[in-house]
Amino acid sequence: MIGLLELLSRPFLRALDPEDAHNLAIKALQVVPQGPRAADQPQLAVRAFGLNFPNPIGIAAGFDKNAAVPDALLRIGFGFVEVGTVTPRTQAGNPRPRIFRLGHDEGVINRLGFNSEGGAVVLARLAARAREHPDSGAIIGVNVGANRDAVDRIEDYVRLIETFALVASYFTVNISSPNTPGLRDLQQAKSLDDLLSRVVDARERAHRRAGPVPILLKIAPDLSLSELDDIVGVARKHRVDGMIVGNTTISRPQSLHDRARAAEAGGLSGRPLFRLSTRMLAETYVRAEGAFPLVGAGGIDSGATAIAKIKAGATLVQLYTGLIYRGLGVVAQIKSDLVAALNRGHRDSLASMVGSDAAAITAESWPA
Ligand SMILES: Cc1cc2nc3c(=O)[nH]c(=O)nc-3n(C[C@H](O)[C@H](O)[C@H](O)COP(=O)(O)O)c2cc1C
């Protein structure tokens, strides 16, 4: 079924405007036949944040912003889905065009600016699916953000956590989108301390209704190492359950071929982000000292890049741009490469690989 979808869709989608192609892909996924999800090899199972993941490959935030197709994504083989970023109120985002493909580089620049159907619509969808599949065990995280014109941005995160606690397997507090002016200032130690204390309080208030919903913090790959010291320190102080490293970059690596597109404003993702985001992941891993697990994202498009993220410190990984260039089949390919690597090393789980290269990576020269 995936093969057929691929055959029909990939060259055709790549000929369209990137945002039209995305909208069409969501429509196609809405008509993927319902059916049980194929079981994963037991070696791929991961336990993190108190949740049991059938495999460590997740679809990163931004693909299914409005929770239109989480079950189709799980049926395609993802081990978990992160919907969002959701903002409390409906918001249109920046004017189009606002997604650009850098074809030679296998990268994307986006400046969507949190286009969101808003909390009420997304909540209704997730609540309906929870009623339909009450014991599915599916892991659906909700990535939350603030409206651009919010008077109290932190209050937006708090409100979303209270509202979504019953339907979210975990929350991602997204303070790293480059496309909402000032949002990334929440990564500064003082603001982050305030944010996390209010967010953790909100989670505790929801605890009796919803149980202990894990909270992950998603950071930018563009932080300085002293900013990262502060962030990991504050995250540990507030006992967040994990961190996602990371979001898109506002930097433009010298290696980019498509210089004209590279001049577009926005966050760069995909292959050109791989080295920087993997370095930041390793830097975060050595600072976290095992206090919480990490999710690695940025430029994963193969088994080799997924394994490199795991060795740099990721317990779980996420991808988005790799799907655009490699198609849906990349998920099955990565899983079979992971199983092959485990078999070669006579390992029965990925856990012993996590972070094995982190110290060595932090000693390399900084990615240009
Ligand atoms: C078109 C697009 C939209 C995105 N929207 C979001 C978003 O709403 N929230 C978020 O946290 N990250 C968003 N991201 C970032 C991804 O979740 C991911 O962190 C980043 O793209 C790196 O992974 P990749 O190289 O596999 O794409 C978006 C990425 C792209 C390409």
314 lines ligand 1 (CB under 6 A): no
Is residue 4 over pLDDT 80?
no
To the nearest 10 degrees (0 to 180), the angle between helices 153-164 and 189-210 is 20
What distance in Å separates the CA atoms of residue 189 and residue 199, rounded to the nearest whole number? 15
Q: Which atom of ligand 1 is nearest to the CA of 145?
A: 9
Catalytic residue among 116, 176, 177, 269: 177
Q: How far is Cα of residue 281 from the mean position of the Cα atoms in its chain?
A: 13
- Give nearest CA residue, ligand 1 atom 1: 110
| CA nearest neighbour of 30 among 93, 82, 76, 98 | 76
Q: Which range has the worst mean pLDDT, 80-84, 191-195, 209-213, 281-285?
A: 209-213
- Give nearest CA residue, ligand 1 atom 10: 61
| CA nearest neighbour of 247 among 187, 293, 329 | 187
Report CA Rg, the chain.
19
* pLDDT > 90: percent of the chain: 81
179 lines ligand 1 (CB under 6 A): no
The H or E element containing residue 279 is helix 274-288
C-alpha 132 to ligand 1 mean position (Å): 28
Return mean pLDDT, the chain.
93
C-alpha 62 to ligand 1 mean position (Å): 5
Most confident of 31-35, 259-263, 282-286: 282-286
Confidence of residue 189 (pLDDT cuts 50, 70, 90): confident
Confidence of residue 137 (pLDDT cuts 50, 70, 90): confident
**Residue 177 annotated in active site:** yes
Q: Do residues 357 and 311 lie in contact, with contact meaning Cβ atoms separated by under 8 Å?
A: yes
Q: Is 158 exposed, middle or buried (0-12, 13-18, 19+ CB in 10 A)?
A: buried
Q: Do residues 261 and 109 lie in contact, with contact meaning Cβ atoms separated by under 8 Å?
A: yes
